[in-house]
Every structure is written in C-alpha cells, then in structure tokens.
Amino acid sequence: MATSEEEITRGHELYLRHLLLLGQAAPVGVKAVIEREVRKQYMGSLANLLAEKKDTFKAFPQLFQDDEVNADIDSWDIHLLCDVTLALFESCLTDTEREAILCISGQRKDLDNYADSASLSYKTFETKWAALHPAILGLIKNIDDETAKLECTRMIYSFKSESTRVNMELINRIKQTKDVNLHVQMAIQDKVAPKIHGD
C-alpha cells in the first residue's frame, strides 16, 4: 500500500507526464498538420496567409506585433496552434484530425484546473490518456513528415511509460505560477523526462 507521501509524489509525476504530452508531443503533430496545409494550399507562406486573415485573429495579439506577423510556429503554445489550425484549415481536416485537435485543445484548457496542485490522480491521468493517445496518433497518421511522425510517436510513449524524475524543488517552483506554458518550459529545463527532443 502506497504511503501518502508516495501518492503525492505519484500525483506530481502524472501531472508532469500529462504536461509534457500536451506541451511537447501534441505540438509536433499540430505543427506538422499546419505545415502540410500551408504547403498544399498556400505555397508555404504562413506569414502571408495570416496577414490576409488578420481580422480573423483579432483575439490573438501574439500573432501580430508592431505590424509584424509572427509566423514562427515554434514560438506558439498549443492553445494558439490548435486555434489557428481550426480557424484556417478546419474544412480541410479529416474528421479524425479535427476531433484530435479539439481533444488536445480541450485537455490543455482543462490542465489549468490542475496548475495549483501540479498533481493528477491516477484515474484522472488514465482517463485523459485514453482519449489523448489515440487523438495524437490519429493526428499524425496522414502527415508526410516522417521525422515529425517518429518524434511525436517516440515522445508519446516516452512520456507515458519511461521514468519521470520528480524534483520537489521543481514542483514547488511550478506551484508558484498558474501559467501551464511556464510549467512546460520548467519541466523541459529540469530534464524531468529522458527523451525530450533529441538525445
């Protein structure tokens, strides 16, 4: 039987796993879909497309700063990636891709509810994983970037099953801010999982 201290640590570990699935693995798939559609329909110029549709994105000031278009999708968080994908390409997506992006977006929004405690129960994690795992795999199924597909798949399995280091100092720093995007950055900097981009 797990002690309460073990249960607390386990809850933090599951939060970190879910955080990385949504903050690191999912964006790889969504970015690949954006790049595919931009290449297919707009000769590869996302900046021109965003500039054309500027009125559509009034709610996203981070896309336009000092009349410059921020088309660097590596700088976008998963919220923005999902919202832009649906706004620009929803009619071009398969039903599986659309449902995947809605699932990822919904789970990312819901993660804000756990930011204070930086903890998930095992049941909550498993319920979220049961929907998120097939969603991300479905999202990358039709992308033609084999490198992105491999990286995304590797991260999904790594963040679900490989050891995740729970450093209580990191958890205490995480709890000081409710910004889940910062939590992702902090988890990456602290190298809580062995296979974050590369190694």
> What is the chain's pLDDT, residue by residue, as a tens digit (199 residues)?
455 767 778 899 999 999 999 999 999 999 999 999 998 877 768 988 888 888 888 888 888 887 789 999 999 999 999 999 999 999 999 999 999 999 999 999 999 999 999 999 999 999 999 999 999 999 998 888 898 899 899 989 888 888 888 889 999 999 999 899 899 988 888 887 765 544 4
Q: What is the pTM of this model?
A: 0.88
Which residues have C-beta within 8 Å of that of residue 21, sequence separation ≥ 6?
A: 129, 132, 136, 155, 156, 159, 160
Beta strands in the chain (DSSP E): 64-65, 68-69
With H, G, I as helix, E, B as strand and everything else as coil, classify residue 68.
Answer: strand
